[in-house]
Amino acid sequence: MYDVAKLAQVSHQTVSRVVNNHPNTREETRDRVLKAMDELGYRPNHAARALASSRSRIIGILVSDADLFGPAGMTRAIENVAQSINHFAVSCSIDPDSEDSVVDGINHLKGLGVDGLVMITPRTDAVTLARTQLGNIPIVTVDSMYRVDELSVSIDNFQGGQLATEHLIDLGHRNILHIAGPSSWFEATARASGYAAAMRSHRLTPRIIEGDWTAGAGYEIGVTLDLEAHGTTGIFAGNDDLALGLLHAFDDRGISVPADVSIIGYDDVPHAAYWNPPLTTMQQDFYELGERALRLLVDTIERRKMPAVEAIVPQLIQRSSTAAPPPQED
């Protein structure tokens, strides 16, 4: 640090302020210090800084279902943004249904001396357990069933479910089925509630079949689903994988999408635009959600004033899997 200060012609305290992203540093001075750091190949000694400041600058991520599109996107965002502000993010995958798994994950991250924790899990009891175990270490929850408070960030899945259903209603559909994700997930119940609210607001009858988040579940439902029994012309699938399974099953049965039935999904996974037909869906900005969680946690750790964090509203991405319903026979 003293070598950097000498080369940049500043004090070592100024170098320290630049390394720690102190806001009251002139941009010209910051650039000069960063250039000197680069020339000398200087990298901060995080272990020494932790001893000096009682801060590890390590952020823990406790995540369940880490292989799913949403949790994976949020975890990637937290890791990337943490690195950009001179923090490290360490993730630990857990089974939220196993108390032992949750405790092991908490103890692992606690042993690393994390300054704070981001929890990406739908289970209330897992969040409660973490907050009990970690004491004063701040925890930010993401899309959790835990109480919504100043240390939570979320996507407005209720409004997302409403918007998806309203899209089908606006196209002229009246008999709309919702195939939901598992009821143990907050996201699934919120989307189903939004669907039901939209249906009732138009004096239509909600119908819900519970599945899970997999294409296999969508396929199994699709191969036996009797569309004519209720005159179903539109389906809101709880996520894109369910929609993919439905598309495959209907193709096997000779049911045309969207000529016979329209399907809208939820998530906008990267390959949804290349299915046959390309999938209409509700796009969730998981990267922004992860970034918000990380910045909220760091602001809390550093005791900065935090602005109110509003839920992110999903955006409709209209493609070819939805259209007006087929004409009714006389």
Asked whether residue 271 carries a pLDDT value surpassing 70, the answer given is yes
Instruction: Provide the percentage of residues in the chain whose pLDDT is more than 70.
Output: 91
Asked whether residue 117 carries a pLDDT value surpassing 60, the answer given is yes
| Reported pTM | 0.77
- What are the tens digits of pLDDT across the range 7-26? 989 888 888 788 777 777 88
155 DSSP assignment: B
pLDDT given at position 150: 66
Residue type, 119: M
3-state secondary structure of 283: strand
Q: Are the C-beta atoms of 26 and 56 separated by less than 8 Å?
A: no
Q: How far is CA 59 from CA 75, 91, 243, 268, in A?
A: 11, 8, 35, 28
pLDDT given at position 298: 92
Strands 315-317 and 281-283: antiparallel
Mark residue 193 as left, alpha or beta (left: phi above 0; alpha: psi -120 to 50; beta: remaining).
alpha
Give the mean model confidence (pLDDT) for residues 267-275: 94
Greatest mean pLDDT among 129-133, 168-172, 298-302 lies in 168-172
pLDDT given at position 47: 47
Instruction: Provide the percentage of residues in the chain whose pLDDT is more than 90.
Output: 56
- Over the chain, what is the mean pLDDT? 88
Give the mean model confidence (pLDDT) for residues 258-271: 96
pLDDT given at position 39: 87
pLDDT given at position 51: 45
Asked whether residue 327 carries a pLDDT value surpassing 90, the answer given is no
Ordered structural domains, the chain, with CATH: 2-44 (1.10.260.40), 53-153 (3.40.50.2300), 157-284 (3.40.50.2300)
> What are the backbone dihedrals phi and psi of residue 109, each rounded to the nearest 5 degrees, phi first?
-70, -35
Partnered with residue 180 across adjacent β-strands are 210
Q: Are the C-beta atoms of 42 and 1 separated by less than 8 Å?
A: yes
Residues contacting 284, CB < 8 A, separation 6+: 70, 155, 160, 266, 267, 268, 312, 314
- Comparing 43-47, 71-75, 135-139, the range with the smallest average pLDDT is 43-47
- What are the tens digits of pLDDT across the range 23-70? 778 888 988 988 988 888 887 655 455 444 457 789 999 998 888 888
Is-cis flag, bond preceding 325, omega within 30?
no
- What are the tens digits of pLDDT across the range 171-210? 999 999 999 999 888 889 999 999 999 999 999 999 999 9
Q: Are the C-beta atoms of 62 and 130 separated by less than 8 Å?
A: yes
Closest CA relative to residue 71, chosen from 292, 290, 291, 268: 290
Give the mean model confidence (pLDDT) for residues 120-149: 76
Give the mean model confidence (pLDDT) for residues 227-241: 96
pLDDT given at position 148: 53
- What are the tens digits of pLDDT across the range 292-306? 999 999 998 888 876
| pLDDT: which is higher, 68 or 262 | 262
